[in-house]
Amino acid sequence: MAKRRKSRFPAAERSVDSAEVRLIRIPGIPEIRTGDDLGKVVASAARQAGIRFRDKDILVVAQKIVSKSEGALVDLASVKPTAPAVALAERLKKDPRAVEMVLRESRRIVRSDHVLIAETHHGFVCANAGVDHSNVPGDDIVTLLPRDPDGSAKKLATMLRKWTDKRIAVIISDTFGRPWRLGLTNVAIGAAGVPVLVDLRGTRDRQGKVLSATILAVADELAAAAGLLMDKSKGSPVVLIRGYRYRLRFEPAANIIRPAAEDLFR
């Protein structure tokens, strides 16, 4: 067990010191269409806003525009619901075609009261398995989560490098609910170039005591910080985080998913 943990995380590390962090909304992101090069779109919007990227900037991008650029959209008019979807939809008073999509996107339905809480194929637990109809043109179109959000983040980081010539880390975020606490918070579902979990176990506190249980979910804190500037009603899906100091690392956000067997909170 101890060994398994060691292999999952890098050696104990001190989080690098930051004195000030800036969160900057990138304005003027247009409606994104399938096939758009998000790196180019973001680089161009930043340039127009007078924002010049720097190495080690972190870009937090809402899942919705990533899904749109990748064509992860489904027209419900084309969906034929199966019998389980029809039955569930009837009980929940929902569109059976939308429920069908939730079932297709899910590995497991966690709860199905008036909201469907599902575990996606990636392992994320969230409402409707990420199937969402907000901020999508057309009444019958829904977006799905990106197939491989870590891959999407890596690809976007590569395209940003191409268009800006800077090493920019990327986090792809979505707003998830959680047990015990009300409200949604923005969390990381994909990452490239930035630490996802920072393991402080083995380092010492101010009194010299060894910290025994401190692994920080840094990517989720970065996503939450960016969430303060994302406004669904205004179309602000891209936030730049500057000044957060970190060690360059390609660690997938999938590392955040808690193995079920180790989930003491369940």
87 binds a second copy (CB under 8 A): no
CA separation, residue 209 to residues 198, 200, 246 (Å): 18, 12, 24
Binding residues among 131-150 for a second copy as defined by CB under 8 A: 133-137
Q: From CA 67, how far away is CA 145, in angstroms rounded? A: 6
Binding residues among 194-213 for a second copy as defined by CB under 8 A: 197, 200, 203-207, 209, 211, 213
Nearer to a second copy, 83 or 264 (CB): 264
Q: Say if residue 219 is exposed, middle or buried (CB neighbours under 10 Å; 0-12, 13-18, 19+).
A: buried
74 binds a second copy (CB under 8 A): no
3 binds a second copy (CB under 8 A): no
Q: How far is the CB of 189 from a second copy (least distance, A)?
A: 10
Binding residues among 218-247 for a second copy as defined by CB under 8 A: 218, 220-222, 224-225, 227-229, 231-235, 244
2 binds a second copy (CB under 8 A): no
Residues 173 and 227: beta-carbon distance below 8 Å:
yes
| Total of chain residues touching a second copy, rule CB under 8 A | 76
Q: How far is the CB of 162 from a second copy (least distance, A)?
A: 26
The token pair that represents 49 in the structure block: 């806003």
Contact range with a second copy by CB under 8 A, out of 74-82, 86-94, 142-150, 171-179: 171-179
Q: How far is the CB of 237 from a second copy (least distance, A)?
A: 10
- Checking 178-187 for CB contacts under 8 A at 24+ apart, the result is 179/265, 185/220, 185/224, 185/227, 186/60, 186/223, 186/224, 186/226, 186/227, 186/230, 187/220, 187/223, 187/224, 187/256
Nearer to a second copy, 35 or 50 (CB): 50
**DSSP 3-state assignment of 70?**
helix
Nearer to a second copy, 103 or 194 (CB): 194
Q: Quick one: which of 105, 93, 152, 113 has its CA closest to 132?
A: 105
108 binds a second copy (CB under 8 A): no
Q: From CA 92, how far away is CA 115, in angstroms rounded? A: 8
For a second copy, the binding residue among 55, 115, 158, 248 (CB under 8 A) is 115
